[in-house]
A and B are shown apart, each in its own frame.
Chain A
Amino acid sequence: MSGMSAMPPAAVAADPVETVATSRAPRQRRRSERSVLASVGLHATLVVATFCALFPIAWVMLSSIKPASEIRRSEIALFASPTLENYRTLLSDTDFPYWFLNSVIVAAFTMAFGIAMSATAGYALSRYNFPGKRGLMWTFLLTQMFPVAILIVPIYTIMANLGLIDTKASLVIAYLTVAVPFCTWMLRGYFDTIPRELDEAASLDGLGPFGIFWRIVLPLARPGIAVTAFYTFLTAWAEVAYAIAFMQSSRNYTLGAGLQQFVPQFSPRWELLTAGAVLVTLPAAIVFFFAQRHLVAGLTAGGTKG
């Protein structure tokens, strides 16, 4: 992130996506002289906020390396005979590896189909005026309001009729309905920031509409595509409601449906849950750090230009 902060404001303005994404050097406001007291206050507030942000993550990580007997004690201890036993049990004695693999497959397919569909639709919405365009845009926004409650039963019955209940395909399809409208909206905002002159120049060189999309615009939109990839991945990775409703045998569960099995109402096994939580978060966090720079830029570019 720091690498981007030297970008001059003019260049930033030409590329709104970067504007939002980077912490560019703040303008000189001549009120940077802050009293010592204000400075201490600022840092104190931020330290408290950072503590609140990090504490739950740190606590779960610390707990995951405590033996079960230590977790079930009422005194607080940061470390207590650290061990990787919980991870070993989780990976060898439970169905966790299956859930993890299922989640990877579901998330990968959701990502691939989601990108393909929202990129083409987003491009058409960005570049062409065609009958039905406005209606479509509103439809995409409207689908954001659909509660899972109204769609889940009809989609469940459709899947049951197709014999897809308890399969990964049913989840991929259901997640696409969640992710595609939002990603289309987001990518359209991103395509809008790529100058049309490029399309026109390519068109003069004899490229057809699909050629322009494939050879010119898509390569330029790589950061936008990265955000879409992240969003579709995380939608599938973190979804729970459909996963619990559709998946029925333990080995077919995804992480969202599986992990809750460790913490039934009575005698929860927090030692397994915390270890699982760490393993579930790790891939998401890695993907997140590659995409976060662009994430909100994509959101606001799409949102404010509607």
Chain B
Amino acid sequence: MRKSFDKHWYAWAMVLPTVIVLGVLVFYPLVRGVLQSFTNLNESNQRDEICTKVLGGAETCEPNPDAAQFVGLDNYVDILTGAQGDFWLQFVNTLVWTVACVAFHFGLGLGLAVMLNREFRFRGFYRVALILPWAVPSFVAAFAWRFIFDERFGVINGALRAIGLDPVSWFEQRWTSLFTAIVANVWLGVPFMMVALLGGLQSINGDLYEAAEIDGASSWQRFVNITLPGLRPVSSTVILLGTIWTFNMFPIIFFVTRGQPAGETEILVTGAYRAAFEGIRDYSLAATYGVLILSILVVYASVYRRMLAKQGEVF
């Protein structure tokens, strides 16, 4: 032990600040959050004791008779059976949202990256222009798209009117409303995928393409047999990260659809947030949501890693 300390003390000293911050502000809250999910904690019963000032300035405290209590799995049962909140509606929304966003991010990002990887005029201009949405903070992008889709003054409905079509009440139906949020998030997320995949494309050995060409492979065959496998290390990472980020993406739904109509477009993260901080603050419900979201993501990430491992990827 002593020897181990002498040998490693500087390494430990260097990671210590980070470990402390993570320990105090990520893992301690995480444990508390998990514990809270087994209680009925909310805004009105969060105090453990009630203190009253008595004459002379002293304070007496006694235990709060209505303090939050341990309720076992009640929150989980309530949520999963739909007795409280709209878990399954939000779950479906989250799935549609995540799959649609990541698919479009990756598909469009890959298409643009392949195009930009060629030599042609104005390539530098296109590259900078296409990356630009990345520089826009996500809540600003959310407001911008909300403005564009605005039912009365928005440019999209204005354009529809101008060509003689009826304007669409985007936020009055579940799927059109979710559609607007997906458009906003796709716009925001494509540049990241594009640049990451462009980096991956440039690391593929050019000789492979020449050899394939000599063997008479068509450009589609080259794409499927050289480009896609060559992109594996990059694409597996960005898809994993992209899925997690999109799943937990808060500001777009929160500001673009705002859950309209009537909460039908909330995803799990925004649903949990509204439970915790809007109306009567139901902290335990939000914590339970959090545990469920985290479990879904951990399961997803480990299945994903196992799939990659089976295909011989070392992520």
Contacts and interface: CB of A to CB of B under 8 A. Distances in A.
B179 interface: no
Contact of A180 (B21, B287, B291): B21
Interface of A (DSSP majority class): helix
Contact of B145 (A56, A71, A121): A56
A199 B19 CA distance: 25
B158 A76 contact: yes
Contacts of B76: none
B129 interface: yes
Interface string A173-215: 1101100110010000000000000000000000001100100
B17 A238 contact: no
Interface residues of B, number: 112
Contacts of B32: 154, 157
B130 A49 contact: yes
Given A240-B254, A289-B135, A150 B30 contact: yes
Contacts of B254: 240-241
Nearest to B17: A117
A238 B196 contact: no
Interface in B120-140: 120, 122-124, 126-140
Interface of B (DSSP majority class): helix
Interface string B234-269: 100110010011011011001100100000000011
A149 B273 contact: yes
A228 interface: no
A2 B144 CA distance: 31
A94 interface: no
A154 B36 contact: yes
B286 A240 contact: no
A245 B132 contact: no
A23 B195 CA distance: 10
Given A39-B120, A53-B129, A146-B294, A304 B237 contact: yes
Contact of B30 (A60, A128, A154): A154
A295 B238 CA distance: 13
Contacts of A158: 25, 28-29
B22 A143 contact: yes
Contact of B133 (A57, A124, A265, A303): A57
Given A23-B123, A259-B139, A30 B115 contact: no
Contacts of A244: 277
Nearest to B197: A296
Contacts, number: 313
B29 A155 contact: yes
B60 interface: no
Given A128-B11, A270-B147, A118 B250 contact: no
B18 interface: yes
Interface stretch (B78-86, B95-103, B206-214): B206-214
Interface in A235-282: 237-238, 240-241, 244-245, 255-256, 259-260, 263, 265, 268, 270, 273-274, 277, 280-281
Interface in A94-123: 116-118, 120-121, 123
Nearest to A154: B29
Nearest to A73: B153
Interface in B4-40: 4, 8, 10-12, 14-15, 17-19, 21-22, 25-26, 28-30, 32-34, 36
B199 A296 contact: yes
Given A57-B133, A76-B155, A153-B283, A148 B248 contact: yes
B33 A280 contact: no
Interface core residue of A46, A63, A273, A274 (most chain B CB under 10 Å): A46
Contact of A56 (B108, B144, B206, B238): B144
Nearest to A241: B250
Contact of A121 (B14, B28, B126, B272): B14
Nearest to A1: B124
A28 B207 CA distance: 10
Contacts of B250: 148, 240-241
A50 interface: yes
A149 B148 contact: no
A147 B294 contact: yes
B117 to A, nearest CB: 7
Contact of A148 (B146, B199, B273): B273
B161 interface: yes
Interface core residue of A56, A241, A255 (most chain B CB under 10 Å): A56
15 contacts: A29-B209, A30-B213, A53-B129, A54-B129, A125-B15, A128-B10, A145-B294, A149-B273, A238-B138, A277-B144, A281-B137, A285-B136, A288-B135, A297-B199, A303-B234
Interface of B: 4, 8, 10-12, 14-15, 17-19, 21-22, 25-26, 28-30, 32-34, 36, 46, 108, 112, 115-120, 122-124, 126-141, 143-148, 150, 152-153, 155, 157-159, 161-162, 187, 190-192, 195-196, 198-200, 202-203, 206, 209-210, 213, 219, 233-234, 237-238, 241, 244-245, 247-248, 250-251, 254-255, 258, 268-269, 272-273, 276-277, 283, 286-287, 289-291, 293-294, 297-298, 301, 315
The list of the 10 closest CB pairs from A to B, nearest first, reads: A150-B290, A20-B199, A154-B29, A149-B272, A238-B137, A27-B206, A288-B135, A124-B14, A128-B11, A303-B237
Given A151-B33, A238-B140, 12 more contacts: A23-B198, A24-B202, A28-B206, A29-B210, A30-B210, A54-B132, A56-B187, A76-B158, A149-B290, A154-B33, A173-B25, A234-B137
